[in-house]
Structure 1
Amino acid sequence: MVVSVVVATYNGKQFIKKQLDSIRNQSRQPDEVIIKDDGSTDGTFELVEEYIRKNLLNNWIVEKNRQNLGYKKNFFELLKAAHGDIIFLSDQDDEWAPKKIEKMAEVMEKNTEVKTLNCGISLIDGQSKKVKLDLRKNFYNANFLYSKNPLKDLNYFEFYSIVERNISPGCAMAITSEVKDEFIKIYDFGLPHDWFLNLIASLTNGCVFLNEELLNYRLHGENTLGISDDWSATSKIDSFEKDRKDKIVEYQQLIQAFTIFEGRFPKNKKITLKIKNYLELHLAFYKKAQIRTLLKLYTCSQYLETSTFRGKVWDWLVALKLNKFL
């Protein structure tokens, strides 16, 4: 199978060379590497151009967008340009394990039902030193992935189980050309592209997590989503209002995504309608947190199955207005 790697860059000069080195030194070399720079002003584009020229990388290309597109549209354009049967997504500031492409491509070639494959991540700091993180109960993969059941080597996720949260950052993902083609047709630039891709794959039970750490995910000020290890009540209370506003936007985006899926995947219409109804009830609770709106949530099996114990307790505190007292 033909393997592509797509890399999005924007003002990433500080770390980009380590990421490029980790791609260039893979045990299984990609057939093409496509890099799109989103209007960097710090010399990132020029550094990448020189890196390609110096290392005689004839199957690597870099282009600079005429205007800043933002990460969603930049990855959209990258995926449109990719020719591979398997496409690896890459950020500009991580470091890949030497056998990341080899191991993930082998899994996808042997298991043709796999449409998106997400590998495990380990955390590093700005000096590439390992960062230790305490995992929450029933959480894995640097607190990105929630599962009540212990993980196997390969773990399949149906879309009702990833509707609350994605299972891994996009930089840990490889996708098939089939998912890419569907994505290009229907993506609405609402949800993050990686979450949308996993949801598409999950509609045919093809969203999979490989329980092996093959990516060093670099922590710095701009990419800490999903990584926080402060789960105290004080932290939760302090961040409540911002989280509430973010969740309202997120649920609106999810509802729109499932409206799209409803039309594109008629075989799954019954379940997509069910989840869409659940999302609408959850959105209603975030807009107006009351006991009445919370009790409606408890009629949905998705809420009972996918919400954490802490999350349920917090919802009751909010519904009873005790968060303000605390």
Structure 2
Amino acid sequence: MKTAVLMATYNGEKFIEKQLDSIKNQVLAPDYVIIRDDGSTDGTVEFVKDYISTNDLVGWNIIKNQRNLGWRLNFRQLLIDSQNTDADVIFLSDQDDVWNLGKNKRQLEILAEHQEIEVLSADTEFNVSASEATVPTNYIFKDNDQELSKFPIEHFYKAGFRQGMTLAIKKEFISRFLKYWKEDYNLLPHDALIECLAGLLEVGYNLNECVAVHNRHESNASGKAVVTLKSPKKLHIQELYAKYQGYYDVIYKVLQDNNSPLEQEEKVYYEFTKRRIRSAQSGSFFKTIGQVLKDWKKYEHFSSRIRDILFSFKK
């Protein structure tokens, strides 16, 4: 099976070399490494170009985006790029982690042994280098003493089960959802979408082995809240649309394509999210409180109900 590594970069010159080394030195060398830079203002692009040239790396390429997309849409574009290759399996990479040298080979072996798996995540070590860094709380699999754990079926939006940089994905799986991921769903994280969808389709598993070191520092793009109670109402509405409606829209349509028995259940949350957005856009406290009460059981968290009510007071 041919493989491709997708890496998103942004101002990563000071720490990218270790990750490039760990990709280059994999026991199973990738056939393609596609790197998209999101408008770095340091020397990231020049450094990577020199690295590729110096090491004579065939199949490696760095593309500089014409405009800053943000890390979510940058990964979306990389996933689109992957569809233009003949790779069978796609690996996702951040710019600042370090992979074990046997990572890709080990994950590919699992995919070959278990044809039912289309998305395979894995465990990591965490290296926290700054007090400002956020540290993800990983989902706990009840059978994590086994080699593999199956992703659960989560009906609500969830941040995912493992870091996106551990993912090995069959190319065909990407084609299932990519056609529905619109560019204006620009706050939708790729890893949450991929992992939760794989759980709902029952094709996602975690390899309960450490395959990399995940570095957490003050410059990490992920892990930071988009909206706080100090945010303007416009951002609240934008996140409801560009993240949550985007998520349920894509999930529902893919389940529909696959004649999943869960299709109608996810449609309920899709329609609920659209009602949340209409209430927020109305600017009416009374309309919002009525919608919250009507949809009370469709909110995953009490804090989400409070959020909608508090933002209804903002202009």
Shorter-chain TM-score: what band? Answer: 0.7 to 0.9
- Note the alpha carbon deviations across 1:133-169, whole angstroms, 9 max, x for none: 7xxxxxxxx513255x343431222442663331122
Quick check: 2:229–2:307 contact (8 Å CA) kept in 1? no
- Structure 2 Cα separation of the partners of residues 18 and 145 of structure 1: 27
- Note the alpha carbon deviations across 1:177-231, whole angstroms, 9 max, x for none: 1012223322124211222222343342112222222121111113275599xxx
Quick check: 2:180–2:253 contact (8 Å CA) kept in 1? no
SS at match of 1:120: strand
Partner of 2:216: 219
Q: 1:41 to 1:292 in 2, by over 3 A?
A: closer
- Structure 2 Cα separation of the partners of residues 108 and 292 of structure 1: 45
State the 1:44 CA deviation.
0.6
- Structure 1 Cα separation of the partners of residues 42 and 203 of structure 2: 39
Q: Percent identity?
A: 31
- Structure 1 Cα separation of the partners of residues 138 and 221 of structure 2: 11
Mapping of residues 50-89 of structure 1, within 5 Å: 50-82=50-82, 83=85, 84-89=87-92
Q: 1:246 to 1:268 in 2, by over 3 A?
A: farther
Q: 1:17 to 1:279 in 2, by over 3 A?
A: same
Q: 1:28 to 1:185 in 2, by over 3 A?
A: same
Partner of 1:137: none
Partner of 2:249: 259
Partner of 1:274: 265
Structure 1's unaligned 5+ residue stretches are 134-141, 229-238, 322-326
- Structure 2 Cα separation of the partners of residues 93 and 154 of structure 1: 26
SS at match of 1:213: strand
- Structure 2 Cα separation of the partners of residues 117 and 158 of structure 1: 13
SS at match of 2:248: helix
Given residue 218 of structure 1, which amino acid in structure 2 is its aligned partner? N
State the 1:293 CA deviation.
4.4
Partner of 1:117: 120
Partner of 1:136: none
99, 106, 109: which one aligns with 2:109: 106
Q: 1:106 to 1:269 in 2, by over 3 A?
A: closer
Given residue 160 of structure 1, which amino acid in structure 2 is its aligned partner? E
Q: RMSD in angstroms over aligned alpha carbons?
A: 3.6
Equivalent pairs, count: 289
Mapping of residues 1-326 of structure 1, within 5 Å: 1-82=1-82, 83=85, 84-126=87-129, 142-147=136-141, 149-151=142-144, 152-160=146-154, 163-189=157-183, 190=185, 191-223=188-220, 225-226=222-223, 252=241, 253-266=243-256, 267-268=258-259, 271-278=262-269, 293=292, 297-298=296-297
State the 1:268 CA deviation.
4.5
- Structure 2 Cα separation of the partners of residues 159 and 277 of structure 1: 16
- Structure 2 Cα separation of the partners of residues 80 and 162 of structure 1: 26
Structure 2's unaligned 5+ residue stretches are 311-315
Quick check: 2:39–2:68 contact (8 Å CA) kept in 1? yes
Q: 1:216 to 1:62 in 2, by over 3 A?
A: same
- Note the alpha carbon deviations across 1:73-111, whole angstroms, 9 max, x for none: 322332233321001011111111121111111111111
Given residue 168 of structure 2, which amino acid in structure 1 is its aligned partner? A
Quick check: 1:281–1:297 contact (8 Å CA) kept in 2? no
Quick check: 1:143–1:226 contact (8 Å CA) kept in 2? no
Given residue 258 of structure 1, which amino acid in structure 2 is its aligned partner? Y
Quick check: 2:150–2:205 contact (8 Å CA) kept in 1? yes
Q: 1:43 to 1:159 in 2, by over 3 A?
A: same
State the 1:280 CA deviation.
5.9
Given residue 198 of structure 2, which amino acid in structure 1 is its aligned partner? A
Quick check: 1:116–1:208 contact (8 Å CA) kept in 2? yes
TM (norm. structure 2) is 0.75
Quick check: 1:88–1:173 contact (8 Å CA) kept in 2? yes
Q: 1:248 to 1:116 in 2, by over 3 A?
A: farther
State the 1:24 CA deviation.
1.1
Q: 1:59 to 1:146 in 2, by over 3 A?
A: same
